[in-house]
Amino acid sequence: EDKVVQSPLSLVVHEGDTVTLNCSYEVTNFRSLLWYKQEKKAPTFLFMLTSSGIEKKSGRLSSILDKKELFSILNITATQTGDSAIYLCANRGNTGFQKLVFGTGTRLLVSP
């Protein structure tokens, strides 16, 4: 059964800190790994990773995938209070029908 494990479960940092969120996965036939940010409502898409070692970057956020070790990290530099959210990692694999399996998420709180 496909599985996604995220760590830490929660994290509190000060504004300006850099954080690294972890996602490890088990999947039968890997297709892609996705990161989402969830504030008060619906998860919103951040990154999709399909190849090892290629960093995806958007502003202060970046992410990279290691398909050999079956994990991904999400980095946030110079954190701001607006980065406070739940960060979700999802894995797509096993079938061609886009089934996404999510981890339980990392709850990040950035204090001023």
Partner 1 sequence: DAGVIQSPRHEVTEMGQEVTLRCKPISGHNSLFWYRQTMMRGLELLIYFNNNVPIDDSGMPEDRFSAKMPNASFSTLKIQPSEPRDSAVYFCASSFGAGSTEAFFGQGTRLTVV
Q: Which is nearer to partner 1, 17 or 38 (CB)?
A: 38
Take residue 49 and report the two structure tokens written for it.
């990773």
Q: Binding residue for partner 1 (CB under 8 A) from 7, 22, 32, 75?
A: 32
Restricting to residues 76-95, name those near partner 1 by CB under 8 A. Answer: 88, 92, 95
- Short-list 109, 93, 111, 83, CA closest to 8: 109
Question: Is residue 57 at the binding interface for partner 1, with CB under 8 A as the rule?
Answer: no
What is the contact mask toward partner 1 in residues 37 to 56, using x (rule: CB under 8 A)? ----xxxxx--x-x------
Q: Residue 45 or 77: which CB sits closer to partner 1?
A: 45
Cα separation, 55 vs 49, in Å, equals 8
| Residue 96 sits in the site that holds partner 1 (CB under 8 A) | yes
| Least spacing, CB of residue 103 vs partner 1, in Å | 7
The 3-state DSSP class for residue 81 equals helix
- State the amino acid at position 61 in one-letter form: L
What are the CA-CA distances from residue 16 to residues 19, 57, 77, 79, 83 (Å)? 10, 18, 7, 5, 11
